[in-house]
Amino acid sequence: MNLVRLLFSSSIGRKILMAVTGLVLVGFVVGHLIGNLQVFAHPDQINGYAHYLHSLGPVLWVVRIGLLVCVGIHVWAAVTLALENKAARGPAAYGVSRWIQAAVASRYMKHSGLVVLAFILYHLAHFTAGAVAGAGEFKAAASYAMSGEFRLLGFPVVAKGQAVQDVYSMVFLGFRQPVVALFYIVAVALLSLHLLHGVDALCQTLGLRNGRWAGGLRRCVAVFSLAYLVGNVAIPGAILTGLLQPAAGTVAAQRIAASPAPQR
């Protein structure tokens, strides 16, 4: 109990909380990207994967609640530490030189974090709750018959012929909307900027960085952040530009075929 109180009441404790929750959230966004990239494969992949996750039932909700708690603690710790730093500096304007020396990513951590938080809420409302732009009706009606087994780590978890939700089409049709795709691209760009500073900072807080390999760590973090950005932007980018066409037999293919062709 004393350890928990210390974590929440001291600046060092809040930095540790911010680092640990940040590490959990980094793991989540990487897993989320890997799941979304399956849209480039056969629809069985992302549909089977999504069905398996939903079949976990209470376990999935435990994970979701845990992630939301991590987000809440992460935001609270960030805001509290920012207010403490501002109070410690006082009204003196000695921060000009610090502003010049600071990396761009660290300057805008608060701003990018708030935009990313808004994006997470919108993304959950759109693709999880189905509460945006008719997504709810789509979730309720669209189904997909698995053309093969979906295996996870070599084990069959979704059977051939099983009716599952057509998540492939939901993602595809969602990103065909330019406003949704643009918001997504801007948000993941800011999240990548957030990761660029945040991952390096959490490594320092957890004692994973030292003077001997600090430079190498920064380069690794930069490559990781860039790869995360490219992987995320590739999904709406390929859909909007037509480089990725919907697979035959999916709701996405049917709706696109039925939609009127753009006038030239």
106-158: pLDDT as tens digits:
455 555 566 666 666 665 655 555 544 445 445 545 688 898 899 888 888 99
Q: How many CA atoms lie within 13 A of 243 on its CB side?
A: 8
CA distance 33 to 191: 12
Record the tokens describing residue 103, joined without a space.
Answer: 């990396």
Mean pLDDT of 43-69: 89
In this prediction, residue 115 carries a pLDDT of 62
Q: Which residue has the higher pLDDT, 239 or 93?
A: 239
In this prediction, residue 202 carries a pLDDT of 84
In this prediction, residue 96 carries a pLDDT of 46
pLDDT at 97 over 50: no
The residue extents of the domains of the chain are 2-90+113-258
In this prediction, residue 43 carries a pLDDT of 92
Instruction: Of 35-44, 80-89, 156-165, 243-252, give the lowest mean pLDDT range.
Output: 80-89
